[in-house]
Structure 1
Amino acid sequence: MMFYRKQAGIGCSILALAISAQTATAQDTASAQPQANDIIVTGSRIARRDLVAPSPIVTASAEALQATAQPTVDAALLQMPAFQPGAGSFSNSSTGGTVGQSTLNLRGLGAQRNLVLLEGRRLQPGSIDSTIDINTIPSLAIGNVEVISGGASATYGSDAMSGVVNFKLRKNFRGLEMRAQAGISGQGDAGNQQLGVLYGTAFAEGRGSLIISGEYAHRSVLSSQDRDFSKYSATSGFISQGYYVPQAGNFASQAALNSVFGKYGVAAGTVTGTTNLGFNQNGSLFTKTAPAYNYQGPTTNPYVSTPTAFGYNSNFYNFIQVPLKRYNIFAHSEFEVDDHTTLYAQGLYNDTSASTQSSQPILAAPWQLDIPVTNPFIPADLKTLLASRANPTATFTFNKRADEAGPRAFTTEGQTYQGLVGAKGKLTGLDGSWDLYASYGEGLNKDITTSGAMSMSAARTLINAPDGGASICAGGYNPFGITQLSDSCRAYLMRRLVNKTKVTQTAIEGTMEGRLFHLPAGNVRFAVTAGYRRNTYKFNPDAASIGGDISSITATQPTTGATSVAEGAVELLVPLLADTPLAREVNLDLGYRYSHYNVSGGVSAYKASLDWRVAKMLLLRGGYQHSVRAPNIGELFLAPSQTVTNIGLPPSAGDPCDARSAARAGANAAKVQALCIATGINPALYNSFTQPTTSIVTQTQGNSQLTPEKADTFTAGAVLQSPATAGLFRRMSLTVDYYNIKISQAISPLAANVALQKCFNTDGSNPNYDASNYFCKLFGRDATSGLFTTASQPYLNLGGYKTSGIDAQFDWHADFADLGLGGKGGVTLNVEGNYLSQFDIQVLPGSAYQNWAGTISSTASYPRFKLLTNLAVDIGKTQISGRWRHTSGFTDSSRVTSASSTVPGTPAYDYFDLSARVKVSDKFELRGSVNNVFDKQPPIVGGVAGTTNLGVYDVVGRAFMVSATARY
């Protein structure tokens, strides 16, 4: 993939654009590249007559994006070393939500900390966290994409902490372009198709212009069972047969246990009163942990029964590529009223539908069934054990994976609208320009639970009925064993939920820029900006969700909220030196912005940067940015929202109270035991307690007391261009940039897996093993089973982030003549890399920073080194290119919070891609590609079978793509 950085100086060679310049139409080329007399570089509001960028900027042309052969724009940009996975095709969810959206994540600091713009203007957010769904941007209408890495709040306002991604349009396009693209994996699945049309025309004798695009995209599902690496996962103890949970102080007698299990040939004393017992279809009992004595049920996937593992493959129903359908319509028009004023209008509509699913709901605390001993379906052998208890008439706790409910399946239907009108023009006296626009947009999401939603009140009504519910629905509800429901009982128990979310944005902004006065080194230029923005949030949950009646779904409430901001900014460009022996040009760029938010008050952002053209071949640049990010409407007002969080697997991770956990061994074993009991583990169960799953249900909720984040960013770099004017090395350049970003008062939910380890002092956060420690108080346990009933992940102003590293890019192009070869054509080489020297996270203010650089988990990654290399050869009308994608090896993230962790990391990974383009004629072009040529499969992440990082590693495998483009 060819990307290039904004270079400095007239005559600078943008090497990586060489290929796209050969394939674009004349009109397209004109629109994709800045004009010499009117240049707005992303990161500044001031027009300049050069290509100088004091901050590191990478530009990807439309041709470069298409050459990646990725089905979506976000997937293409993800290959750039500056990006880490946001949300995308791999973002399967166990709770529905905004499935199908795709976001960008600069520097790994989170999608909410980089700002996505279209022509320098804000887009309509697709969700309550104010992030932009890249699916809403019309890919055919994109001319190029400019990425500035580093804070830019002084220029663009809140959200621009880690950088800005600015999509530029093909506004001057004329004619008709149609494109069809289709892809499929080497195994014949994971297909994707795209159809698009772009039309551009002029009217009113050339004073007006119009572009209209329409697109359709389809992406097929890829199930976990479609790939060997994901077929099996860590075994979950929640089983479809259900199991009896003994209650402390009311265990079955050992004599009764010996008698019942003696009939099965199990030695006396093997099964004790604390053992959880499951149910075979014939009513006999089995022990729920490996080896499962007397288990007579299925043993094939998703059921697991071996001498060392017993339970359920909870990965069985998951998707590793989320299916998607998308329709997009976009239009942009401009009309030149006179030489000084142009009117413009823009409209965008996007309709997306995506589906996801996970394993069946869990009937466990707080959704467990407490079954009376009068229930008619209780198997005879269990009745014998119940009767032997000290209190034989007491109800008993029953847990189950509700296989009868079906997998939890969700469909998210999203519509995004945005309309924009504005006017712009020239300020002749100031050699400047002005721009004023207003926009309004809505993001509408409908989250539909189509399967796996069981009404707990209905289930308890059937369980407590004297006839087991047979008089309510045919056959009643027999939970013991693998349950088969009649149609009437299914209708009685199951629900279809519809939750609706509406997000709106109103924005008004005006900018004026021009010349102030003249200095010996040149003109001092300025830009002033004033704006107002309002975002609203409205959440209408299903009535059953409000009541908290649905299995594995926490209760929530209708919620509304609004934020607004009024702000003003000023920027100055001061030329300091020009045409001196050591400085052909030195410029200082200063900026300040004041923003007042209705919730969090006033904040300031500012910047100072310098570009120094030492000589024609050398540019030095650097700067400082103080950025802010106000809490968004989701962080402020989010209704209680359920997520499923992976806490890992013992001994190195998981629940420290689990009998398999390494935390229970060693010098602090007694303190761990005391803390487990103090936080809810029944002492009688402690020795045998196991957490039956690697994931727990957590709850996140907004916090209106949040304050803005603050960030300080330093950058320093150099652009080196070849001094040669002819020959092999005349079109060669190298850029190297250092960045250092520090964020304080970071807003984030406190991850449950991290809080759990901190509660148990694995990293020194709770040296006294105190149950009143902040981290410990985030969890609640069921007094009977010890399972988690609550696990809070509150939004807080936590500690902060410190990240630093080096970006480098090398570009080279040579014609065949330069290489001593005959014929027309040439070779282009582009190498882009990032070295991450630091990624420190401070969980709470005042606590120690921990370095996560070079670590990976199933949901996050911080690669030490990431490299993207592209080599392309042009031979006449044919281009052949190869791409090498390299990611360095990782250590497992558990080692950051637990020094004793033995969870293995992952090795360095390399992917190789091939592509070819044939320009059949001036109006028709064919492309073909093979991604992941060697079909490299993803590694295991976290030491848990079936678990990888779906955003870092290629889960599809070898994939093929063909496309055809026709222009008229």
Structure 2
Amino acid sequence: MSTFKKSALFTGTVIASAMLVTPVYAQVQDDEAREPGLEAAPDDAIVGEPIVVTGSRIPQRNVDTAAPVAVVNQEEFQLSGTVNVENVINTLPQVVPGTTSFSNNPGNGSATLNLRGLGAARNLVLVNGRRWVFFDTAQIVDLNTIPSFLIESVDVVTGGASAVYGSDAIAGVTNFRLRDVQGAELGGQYAVTERGDGASYEIHGAIGTSFDDGRGSATVFGEYFNRDSVFQGDRAFSNFALGGDPDLSQGGSSTLPSGVIRYFGDSDTTGTDFDANGAVVFDTAGDFRTRQGDLYNYAPANYLQIPQERYLFGGYADYEVGGGHGLYTEVTYVNNRVAQELAATPVTGDFDVDLSSIADFLNPADLAQLQALEAQEGDDDDIINLFLQRRTVETGSRNSLDERNAFRVLGGITGPVTDTISYDAYYSFARTRNSNIQEGNISASLFQAGLDGTSDNPINIFGPNTLTPEDVADISILAQNSDVSTLEVVNASLAGTFGDYGLFDSDPIGFALGVEYRAVGSRFIPDTALASGDVIGFNAGQPTEGSYNVKEVFAELNVPIEFGASRLELTGAGRYSDYSLENVGGVWTYAGGVEFEPVRGVLLRGQYQRAIRAPNVGELFGGAALGFPAATDPCATSAATSGTLRDLCIANGVPAGSVGDPGLQLNTQIPATFGGNPDLEEETSTSYTFGVALQPDFVPGFVITADYFNIEIEDAISTISLAQSLALCFNDVQDTTSTACQPFFAQPIRNSAGVIIVDTAVPLGGQNIASFETSGIDLEVSYDTTAPFSLFTDTGESGLNFGFLGTWTEDYTFTAFPGSDPLQCAGFFGLRCGQPQPEFKWTSRASLIDGPVTASVRWRHLGEVDDETGGFAVDTIDSYDLIDLTFAFEATEEFTVTFGVNNLFDTLPCSPTFDGTVVASCDNSLTLGDNQEQANTYPSTYDVLGRRFFVSANFNF
């Protein structure tokens, strides 16, 4: 029976938990030669060889750090059966899921990282310690652009790190380390759900070699990935849009395929068939009746899992030119295609209708009612203004295809200055271009022309399936936009030690200093229809274009002090940044840390950091864009019928007789416009961590660490969600002159009937007014030992590994603006808190390695969370557990097969049964009503595909 090589994928020394918050230690060849506290780690690290650790630029022998670092090793990607980076990173307790493959509406086809739930823009993503390519005007990295099969490890550093890396690192840093390939590697993976859908497959290859007698080395690689879509209609829990208060019930949109008319004229009567809100609905073509709470189920046509196709190519190489001086380069190209699909376009708004041109579409009695209303307006133009709602199902679903082409090139030189000091200088340029094509949109102007008699072809919207192919062609519009983002970096640094000088005969004092120049730029280029707002369907937006640069100097110092068997290490870092942005200018960031090892196996550590984030191009220069966020209009609630809230609603343009009328809010989504603010300043954060790492000699292979973290962000740039804005102004502040109420009172936001519609959408923009604070404890336990049995080797022993990584979130508060009440989100979810943020979250893995066979089980846990406000049909999501099982077999030293099942027990949101429209039964709390994100749940947090099987194979030769 074959035995493992040291470099094989699954070995007796693999840390099968693969998720460590302990320091990553340098390998030593002899246990007696270890310095106090050193632990064995990667094979390619040799005693005395300097190693650069994430969070510092100083090469060190002792590579434990003052700041806690969570490390995800490559084995976790392979054992979890994942290809996309997001699927592993989002299982970390430090991460709240960002945009994922389950983000259809809202969503943009990307995969983002949201560290500590502080926002994807507040976590700096690096690859090999350097900035990676971003994909849009928000300057956020799409994790789809990182080749997961080449990842050696992922380091997640908690707390601000701007002193070391510059802007954006205010929640922390995530560094993806890519490995060198020796020889040739070919592999692939296939996965499919138990229900036979959502299939994905991936193939990859890489070749690595050295040349010119070992002076140079190179790795080139390529990957293809394809993922099928899954629709919400393919799962019982998401097949029907749910709502309801207090009972979970069938919900949906008030914009119907058959058409709805509302008349907001001044007449005391709206006709015999109009309801109290002046609305009628068409049952059959040309024949309307009183509306009776009719709703349209938009859910089945929406993606649950978005499809994706990706091509990824690249390479990296280095060459020693002589005297220890070397050149290096990195090149990457990614073509990534993702799509979104939504239900047919809901056309809503005020339209002028020429009754003479549409007379043939209505029965005489109904036409007469409209003619009577128009006659009371006192003019002879035969045109009546109606509020129309029509779901244009004849055009088919709305489709949006994003094709992103990204490339990054980097070239650098490195070498010695003295025996103890080296230099490193590089230049990198990255560019992403995204092309977005939209189908299924409706032109507002052409729709209007088809109703007011100015078109040669009047359109018939009065009933189900009344739009002819000619009508569809007349009102449909193909829209497209593109965006271009660039990042340019020039960096030069010196790092090393002050010769052999160290305090009290300790290791030498280490230092790093350098300069950096960065230039960022982005453009959003909508076509004429999108820019003018003529598009109904996908959101319109104004062009965005802007850029800025920053010049920086930075320095670090590391002072080790040893006395007897004890060790003390002091670290410091500082950076001065000069931005071309007038409102940012020059800013300082700094950090200080200490480590103390009083006895072997006990390490105490702590760090304090001040960090910043400069506003991105979108926040600064973004053109006005239309959106439809979920929110509740306070003036449409029963609480508005009296008191100060009633007075505010009347002052806001709601007719006195309509205050408190639920009919004021037509849908759960309310139109709003979002844009940039060139007067923004930088965000600032202060963070500190302290903790302990224990590695007792009397329990070999056992490590336990606990680290407390506290992160505060001030002057945070926030548009304040529409839901938060409405609640703060109308329910909390209740002052029309306050900053919180300006979006609603500085200009009209309602039509004559008091309804917020597209034509009067709420204007929202970013401001430096918010603050965040989060704190808690990360706990890691790992144990690596042997079991006294073996089925596949002659040694009589097997490797046994256990790892646990958990986070207790003590506090997570968001304050929308100074003086407002903090919103507590630790242990909560909802329309304002967003994704569930449980107080307790952990992931753990146990593996048995018996010769060529590895068996591994992973347990993922999320604690119970409550709705932030309460009052919904489901106010609590119970604690949640998933079990994954993996087996791997090394058939030969060159060929490994891995197969497994994720979500072993097929844990899914419940499939409701209905008693009429009200849910009669539901056996778990994962299925939500009005307080959900999409698909009746939070699909980026809770599994929505169910039991999933995967198999992969890897050849090395």
The two structures have a TM-score, normalised by structure 1, of 0.87
- Which residue of 501, 504, 525 maps to 1:540? 525
SS at the partner of 1:921? coil
CA contact (8 A) 1:324 1:352 kept: yes
Paired letter, 2:725: A
2:590 aligns to what? 606
2:21 aligns to what? 5
- Which residue of 933, 937, 954 maps to 1:948? 937
* C-alpha spacing 1:819/1:963, structure 2 compared with 1 (3 Å): closer
* C-alpha spacing 1:34/1:553, structure 2 compared with 1 (3 Å): farther
Q: Distance in 2 between matches of 1:484 and 1:249?
A: 30
Displacement after TM superposition at 1:553 (Å) = 5.5
- Which residue of 228, 231, 234 maps to 1:223? 231
- Which residue of 894, 897, 902 maps to 2:869? 894
Paired letter, 1:719: A
CA contact (8 A) 2:22 2:693 kept: no
Aligned counterparts, 1:149-188, within 5 A: 149-171=158-180, 173-188=181-196
CA contact (8 A) 2:898 2:953 kept: yes
CA contact (8 A) 1:682 1:786 kept: no
Displacement after TM superposition at 1:769 (Å) = 11
Aligned counterparts, 1:489-504, within 5 A: 489-504=471-486
SS at the partner of 1:914? strand
CA contact (8 A) 2:264 2:752 kept: no
* C-alpha spacing 1:555/1:219, structure 2 compared with 1 (3 Å): closer
1:131 aligns to what? 140
SS at the partner of 1:500? strand
- Which residue of 272, 275, 278 maps to 2:278? 275
2:395 aligns to what? 405
1:927 aligns to what? 898
- Which residue of 442, 462, 482 maps to 1:480? 462
1:299 aligns to what? none
1:201 aligns to what? 209
Paired letter, 1:682: P
Displacement after TM superposition at 1:361 (Å) = 2.5
SS at the partner of 2:646? helix
* C-alpha spacing 1:553/1:966, structure 2 compared with 1 (3 Å): closer
1:464 aligns to what? 452
Matched, 1:774 2:748: no
1:335 aligns to what? 319
CA contact (8 A) 1:243 1:400 kept: yes
2:548 aligns to what? 563
Displacement after TM superposition at 1:684 (Å) = 4.2
Paired letter, 1:776: F
Paired letter, 2:902: N
Aligned counterparts, 1:757-768, within 5 A: 757-761=727-731, 764-766=732-734
- Which residue of 504, 507, 510 maps to 1:522? 507
SS at the partner of 2:295? strand
Displacement after TM superposition at 1:35 (Å) = 6.4
Structure 2's unaligned 5+ residue stretches are 1-16, 32-40, 242-250, 910-925
2:878 aligns to what? 907
CA contact (8 A) 1:6 1:51 kept: no
Matched, 1:646 2:607: no
SS at the partner of 1:606? strand
Q: Distance in 2 between matches of 1:358 and 1:679?
A: 33
Displacement after TM superposition at 1:86 (Å) = 1.2
SS at the partner of 2:700? coil
Paired letter, 2:756: L
1:674 aligns to what? 647
1:119 aligns to what? 128
* C-alpha spacing 1:138/1:71, structure 2 compared with 1 (3 Å): closer
CA contact (8 A) 2:638 2:661 kept: no
Aligned counterparts, 1:498-897, within 5 A: 498-516=480-498, 517-520=501-504, 521-552=506-537, 556-575=541-560, 577-580=561-564, 584-599=566-581, 600-647=584-631, 654-658=632-636, 661-664=637-640, 669-686=642-659, 688-690=661-663, 691-724=665-698, 729-761=699-731, 764-766=732-734, 773-774=741-742, 776-777=744-745, 780-784=749-753, 786-788=755-757, 789-817=760-788, 823-857=796-830, 859-895=834-870
Displacement after TM superposition at 1:818 (Å) = 9.7
| Most deviating of 107-116 and 694-703 | 694-703
| Most deviating of 79-88 and 310-319 | 310-319
Displacement after TM superposition at 1:902 (Å) = 7.2
Q: Distance in 1 between matches of 2:949 and 2:451?
A: 53
Paired letter, 2:846: L
Paired letter, 1:570: A
Query: Deviation string for 1:175-225 (max 9, x for gaps)?
Result: 111111010011100111111001101111111100011001111111110
Q: Distance in 2 between matches of 1:940 and 1:608?
A: 46
CA contact (8 A) 1:605 1:626 kept: yes
Q: Could you say what the CA RMSD is over the residues aligned between the two structures, in angstroms?
A: 2.6
1:295 aligns to what? none
* C-alpha spacing 1:103/1:490, structure 2 compared with 1 (3 Å): same
Paired letter, 1:731: G
CA contact (8 A) 1:329 1:348 kept: yes
CA contact (8 A) 1:569 1:593 kept: yes
SS at the partner of 1:957? coil
SS at the partner of 1:523? coil
| Most deviating of 825-834 and 227-236 | 227-236
Q: Distance in 2 between matches of 1:36 and 1:128?
A: 44
Matched, 1:449 2:459: no
SS at the partner of 1:235? coil
Q: Distance in 1 between matches of 2:182 and 2:874?
A: 57
Displacement after TM superposition at 1:672 (Å) = 2.7
CA contact (8 A) 1:245 1:396 kept: no
CA contact (8 A) 1:657 1:676 kept: yes
CA contact (8 A) 1:679 1:771 kept: no
- Which residue of 27, 30, 38 maps to 2:50? 38
Q: Distance in 2 between matches of 1:707 and 1:770?
A: 21
- Which residue of 315, 319, 326 maps to 2:303? 319
| Most deviating of 792-801 and 708-717 | 792-801
SS at the partner of 1:458? helix
Q: Distance in 1 between matches of 2:403 and 2:29?
A: 45
Displacement after TM superposition at 1:239 (Å) = 1.2
Query: Deviation string for 1:93-139 (max 9, x for gaps)?
Result: 36x7xx32111111111111111111111111111111111111122
SS at the partner of 1:485? coil
Matched, 1:235 2:222: no
Q: Distance in 2 between matches of 1:8 and 1:314?
A: 50
The two structures have a TM-score, normalised by structure 2, of 0.88
Count of residue pairs brought into register by the alignment: 884
* C-alpha spacing 1:455/1:13, structure 2 compared with 1 (3 Å): farther
Displacement after TM superposition at 1:908 (Å) = 0.5
2:3 aligns to what? none
CA contact (8 A) 1:322 1:354 kept: yes
SS at the partner of 2:629? strand
CA contact (8 A) 1:193 1:219 kept: yes
Percent of residue pairs identical: 29
SS at the partner of 1:225? helix
CA contact (8 A) 2:639 2:660 kept: no
Larger RCO, structure (CA 8 Å, separation 6 or more): 2
Paired letter, 2:182: R
CA contact (8 A) 1:904 1:943 kept: no
Structure 1's unaligned 5+ residue stretches are 16-27, 262-270, 291-309, 648-653
